[in-house]
Structure 1
Amino acid sequence: MIRNKLSRAVVMGAAVLALGACAGDPTPRDTAQYTEDASINTNVQAAVVGVPGVHANNIQVTTYEGVVTLRGTVDNKLAAQNAIQAARQVAGVKKVNFDLQLAQR
């Protein structure tokens, strides 16, 4: 009986550790950093969507510790350059990485 409970406890403990290792960010952020990243992300999305040639459904914005990444498709090179510049001008942005492709016509 005790052995069965111990085995069950070991399995449950291993499962909890495995789930914890799989979840979340590569390095933990505190609540303040997470909130700041969310705010930056929202502001970058608003700025980028206002750029001619950039469509909201075709661009993904992610932010981690102030580093913004833009992914998706844009109409042309000028739209890509303007989107990157718009993201750089948002308060709190430390760096902008991008993986922007030109839309197929």
Structure 2
Amino acid sequence: MTLPNRFAAIFSALLLVSVVGCASTPKHEGTGQYMDDTVITTKVKTAIFNEPTLKSTEINVETYKGTVQLSGFVNSRADMKKAVEVARSVEGVVAVKDQMQLK
């Protein structure tokens, strides 16, 4: 094997290992999916915080594969409904699970 062929083979092997290492499995997210979910979580938190009718900072946001779960405590059912609406309006959100409770 010539020197350029060896470098090409090594480079191809490293490229394959790096691509496979970042792939997701059915139960675990890949690196790209994790970053996307982190961005969605941040956008939803920001949207909820910027919503003037939602004064509660006790709403927790978690995202997995585009599905947002809202949990924590709110003052009224209207606040629950508004938080879900705000979360659904964020780009990238696939579904919203409402696990919030009334104070």
- Under a length normalisation based on structure 1, what TM-score does the superposition of the two structures give? 0.68
Post-superposition Cα deviations, 1:26-79, rounded to whole Å, max 9, x if no partner, equal 8111111000000000000111223324422x1110000000000011111111
| 1:84 aligned partner | 84
Aligned length: 77
Q: What letter is aligned with 2:91?
A: A
CA contact (8 A) 2:54 2:83 kept: no
Q: Closer, same or farther in 2 for the Cα pair 1:65/1:36, shift >3 Å?
A: same
The runs of 5 or more residues in structure 1 that have no matched partner are 1-25
1:43 aligns with 2:28: no
Q: Which runs of 4+ in 1 moved over 4 A?
A: none
1:68 aligns with 2:78: no
Q: What letter is aligned with 1:79?
A: D
CA contact (8 A) 1:70 1:96 kept: yes
Query: Following the alignment from structure 1 to structure 2, what is the Cα–Cα distance between the partners of residues 102 and 47?
Result: 20
User: The residue matched to 1:36 in structure 2 has which SS?
Assistant: helix
Query: Following the alignment from structure 2 to structure 1, what is the Cα–Cα distance between the partners of residues 99 and 33?
Result: 24
Query: Following the alignment from structure 2 to structure 1, what is the Cα–Cα distance between the partners of residues 93 and 50?
Result: 18
